[in-house]
Amino acid sequence: MTSTLLPGNIVYGGPITTSEAQDYPSLGQYVLDKYKSFGDQTVMIDAFTNTEYSAKFMYDSIVRLAQILQKLGVKQNDVIGLSSENSINFAIAMFAGFAVGATVAPFNVTYSDREVDHAINLSRPKIIFASKITMDCIVRVAKKNKFVKGIIAISGSTSNLPNLHSLLDLMSNDKYKTKPDFTSPQANKADDVALIVCSSGTTGLPKGVQLTQFNLLATFDSQIQPTMIPFSEITLLTVIPWFHAYGCLTMITTATLGTRLVYLPKFEEKLFLSAIEKYRVMMAIMVPPLMVFLAKHPIVDKYDLSSLMVLLCGAAPLSRETEDQIKERIGVPFIRQGYGLSEVTMSVLVQTDEYCKPGSVGVLKVGIYAKVVDPDTGKILGANERGELCFKGDGIMKGYIGDTKSTQTAIKDGWLHTGDIGYYDDSFEFFIVDRIKELIKYKGFQVPPAEIEALLLTHEKIKDAAVIGKPDEEAGELPMAFVVKQANVELTTGDVISFVHDHASPAKRLRGGVIFVEEIPKNPSGKILRRVLREMLKKQKSKL
């Protein structure tokens, strides 16, 4: 990938060299044809049950469920809700939705009734697939929303609701026999929404990000770059939830590449490590908390992780120290960071063998344009000048569903304004400094919490950390830290404050103090939920 500088300080990642996916009449047909072409090869492995699934099994199941959905009255551009942990049925339901031309809206399985109600009122699904762990909540909320016409149990069984397995079995019956093939309806790819994913919601209730069929198809084409090892020979592990954009888009992309995807419904230390060992996993999709686990947890040494060649880390900043610890401990030759958000359909920046400076998130992917804008003046900045990162390309979302104002704030003249502060260097490698809204304002200085967090994680007695600004009448905000100690260690507030004092400039010192906690609240992709920390701080103040 070679970036170029266009007039007006616009950086361009270069053209996408194939249009295979974009030329398809629909996303659903592309997925179906890909699965059909892979035949009997194994494409998914459930590491919890040790069950392997072939592309033929996936194709047959998707075709049967697509015909069931049509019999249930699901039409093109209707919405299907999906509330489940990672499972084979999650993938089948999602792809069957694509096959009939429907929009799929995945819901976070940890949502409360209030949050589920908010999410389904954004997307308004006709049918919701729910797993055993989310069924009760979905049923309660659906009762209050008449637009939900049916609920299907994706796992487990309930006496009064249809079950995915029984429906698939029923369609094998001669009376209801499905056809062995299926043609997906032609789509208006630029307008028809494939996915409505909930944004991270680090500052409030999530927004519904609309990703079109063209967004996804163009993103697939941008992935098809020459690799040393054929995609079909790569075994990749993921534990990232598929209801989250990062996990969902990874799952969909690997499906179209024929990669063997080993998945887990949730992170469990021993299961995660044993899956790498058992299936000789070559690549793993990671987030910083998982990287810290590999770097620091004593159990890691008990497993053979020698097959790991590449760790792909995104969703939040990863410190150089954690990266070095993993390379030294496990011998993983390639650790690659990337940068993306729900609104850009996966990632826009990624490290390569050539562009992987410490602290960078890499260079622009093909088909992507970028500019750095001064948030105060709107001026487009040059190399090594910090400002708001803005991106343009075929992956930029259609908009936030039902929220024209937020869409117009985020997308201006085709450019997505990310709210992230960063810069690119003379080699066009990009560096993220922090989010505009998360910068701590201390006496006029803009203090990036991520920088102090990365420093705290280098302390051998600190397991995890998060930093926010504590309101202060004189200074504006004071940096303060929430710290999780390693097990069975002595660590005082004074120790932590002194450590930062000795290693950071005056504006970054922890004048707001330190609070020791059991864990740092994060969303499923590993982003720190700073609003939760601010609420914790308010509660503590009210007790005083």
Give the CATH number for residue 458. 3.30.300.30
Residue 426 within a domain? no
Residue 150 within a domain? yes
Residue 341 within a domain? no
Q: Which range marks the domain in which residue 87 is found?
A: 54-212
| In the block, residue with structure tokens 């996936």 | 58
Residue 271 within a domain? no
Count of CA atoms in the C-beta half-sphere (13 A) of 77: 7
Cα separation, 355 vs 353, in Å, equals: 6
Distances (CA, A) of 86 to 11, 105, 535: 37, 15, 30
Residue 164 within a domain? yes
Residue 208 within a domain? yes
> Are the CB atoms for 79 and 125 separated by under 8 Å?
yes
Residue 131 within a domain? yes
Residue 224, pLDDT score: 64
Average pLDDT of each block of 10 consecutive residues along the chain (544 residues)? 90 91 95 95 96 95 93 94 96 97 93 87 96 92 94 79 78 60 91 90 72 95 69 90 90 94 93 97 89 89 94 79 88 90 91 86 94 93 96 95 92 94 95 80 80 90 93 85 94 95 88 94 85 86 60
CB-based contacts of 277, cutoff 8 Å, min separation 6: 303, 304, 305, 307
Domain finish residue from 171, 190, 212: 212
- The dihedral region occupied by 514, where left means phi > 0, alpha psi between -120 and 50, and beta the remainder, is beta
Domain finish residue from 212, 233, 257: 212
Q: How far is CA 7 from the centre of its chain?
A: 33
| In the block, residue with structure tokens 């029984």 | 166
CATH number for the domain including 133? 3.40.50.980
Q: How far is CA 158 from the centre of its chain?
A: 31
* 3-state secondary structure (DSSP) of residue 337: strand
Cα separation, 96 vs 169, in Å, equals: 16
- Say if strands 260-263 and 42-46 run parallel, antiparallel, or are unpaired: parallel
- Say if strands 260-263 and 310-313 run parallel, antiparallel, or are unpaired: unpaired
Q: What is the 3-state secondary structure (H, E, C) of 274-337?
A: HHHHHHCCCEEEECHHHHHHHHHCHHHHHCCCCCCCEEEECCCCCCHHHHHHHHHHHCCCEEEE
Distances (CA, A) of 88 to 72, 196, 276, 450: 21, 20, 19, 36
* 3-state secondary structure (DSSP) of residue 374: coil
> Are the CB atoms for 362 and 413 separated by under 8 Å?
no
Residue 254 within a domain? no
Cα separation, 280 vs 305, in Å, equals: 8
Domain finish residue from 212, 244, 270: 212
DSSP state of 486: P
Q: Give me 182's structure tokens.
A: 């299926």
Q: How many domains does the chain have?
A: 2
Residue 177, pLDDT score: 58
> Are the CB atoms for 288 and 322 separated by under 8 Å?
yes
